[in-house]
Amino acid sequence: MKIFKSRNTANSFFLLKDEPQAIIFDKSSKPLWLLKDGSKHNTTCLHCTEKYCLQFSPLEIQPPLKNFPTLPIKEVCPSGALKWDDKRQCPTVDSQKCIQCGFCVKRCPAKAIYFQNGIHVSMETNNINVYQNSGRENDSELHDKQMAYLKSLPFQALNISEYSSVIREIYGKLIHADSSVRELFVRNLLIILGIPTSLRRTGDVYTRMDAIYKIGSKVGPLEIEFGQDTLSASRRILDDIAILHTRYKLDKMIQLPLVVCLTLPNARQGYWQVIRDIKKVEKISISTITVGVLLIFLWHAEKLNINIDDYYIDYDNMSMRAVAESQLKIKIPIAEGFLGLLEPQK
């Protein structure tokens, strides 16, 4: 029986003539490849076979826990704004749908996707530093090597001079997004930060946590709370811990429960005290982190090394500014209380 091969996976990739030494980001222009001879060339899409900007590999979306009912979505773009254009053979961005999270920017090895008043894809068919694969035997191997090399280049801070305005814009879009987009947004953000995360399969009412994630050998339940009902998140997470404890044989004391929220609850909200009560009575520390802080890590960090354990905050200390700044080794240029990113708004 003949099973045909998809033309979509045919070898239509591009190769670099010279591998760049570095990628230069400039606010006023497209990203540039800096070659060994000192010349600079615009980056351009290499039509890589793996399509890193569009899809996670099966390994990247493998559930961190055996038998966890996982939603097996491969897409990197949570809002479906980034699609592959068959005619032009490159990714295209639907600016109406784009949240401007920068996941695709971060994932593109060639840095052909970039921020500049929105997300853009550099597609230059006449770029003098690239040539099209001509089907020679070692082209595929060379392409893989070049991709690995590009991915190994030091990551530089993206072209975002003003975190606050970009985060405000992204938050504005996330608030109005479907819950499925929000959940995918958080999952993808964590995966790109190097934290394996799986969303629960839709409709599995007996496994109620939004997601699970893994750091080192530790697994934890994850609740995603984009509204004001953070108290419900702390309740849900106790339920999640019990499910993992009883059905997945993960002792409650070794779990890493985490609430990812858009905005920290206000100081007067019951959440903070309840988190402290749970720690006092159950000795379980529920960490809390905002999407904004995770985005700052995504955009800024040269090497990503988030220790979720450090993000335990409660009624006695409701700010994550100190720990985030110490991990990022920068002073975060965001005003106190701004959108409840680092400390409660009020």
For 146, the enclosing helix (H) or strand (E) is helix 139-152
User: Is residue 68 within the footprint of other proteins (CB under 8 A)?
Assistant: yes
Residue 304 backbone zone (phi > 0: left; psi -120 to 50: alpha; other: beta): beta
User: What is the identity of the amino acid at 326?
Assistant: S
The token duo for 87 is 């005619």
Contact 130, 14 (CB under 8 A): yes
Binding to other proteins by CB under 8 A, coded x per residue (else -) over 242-281, reads xx-xxx----x-----------------x---x-xxx-xx
Closest CA to 163 of 339, 288, 306, 344: 339
Please work out the total of residues on this chain that contact other proteins, with binding judged by CB under 8 A.
53
Q: How far are the Cα atoms of 66, 69, 196, 206, 238 from residue 203, in angstroms, in the given order?
A: 19, 10, 22, 9, 20
Burial 75-103 (b: 16+ CB within 10 A, else e): bbbbbebbeeeeeeebbebeeebbbbbbb
Binding to other proteins by CB under 8 A, coded x per residue (else -) over 28-67, reads ---------------------------x-------x--xx
User: Is residue 175 within the footprint of other proteins (CB under 8 A)?
Assistant: no
User: Is residue 5 within the footprint of other proteins (CB under 8 A)?
Assistant: yes
Contact 220, 257 (CB under 8 A): yes
Q: How far are the Cα atoms of 70, 149, 194, 201, 256 from residue 205, in angstroms, in the given order?
A: 13, 44, 28, 9, 22
Comparing CB distances to other proteins, the nearer of 127 and 234 is: 234
User: Is residue 241 within the footprint of other proteins (CB under 8 A)?
Assistant: yes
Backbone φ and ψ of 194, nearest 5°: 90, 15
Span from 8-16, 33-41, 108-116, 153-161 in contact with other proteins (CB under 8 A):
8-16
Touching other proteins, residues 103-132 (CB under 8 A): none
Touching other proteins, residues 198-237 (CB under 8 A): 201-208, 232, 234-236
- Supply the minimum distance, in Å, between the C-beta of residue 268 and other proteins: 9
Span from 78-86, 130-138, 216-224, 330-338 in contact with other proteins (CB under 8 A):
78-86
Comparing CB distances to other proteins, the nearer of 40 and 51 is: 51
User: Is residue 6 within the footprint of other proteins (CB under 8 A)?
Assistant: yes
- Supply the minimum distance, in Å, between the C-beta of residue 69 and other proteins: 5
For 287, the enclosing helix (H) or strand (E) is strand 287-290
Q: Which residues lie near other proteins (CB under 8 A)?
A: 1-10, 55, 63, 66-74, 80, 83, 86, 201-208, 232, 234-236, 238-239, 241-243, 245-247, 252, 270, 274, 276-278, 280-282
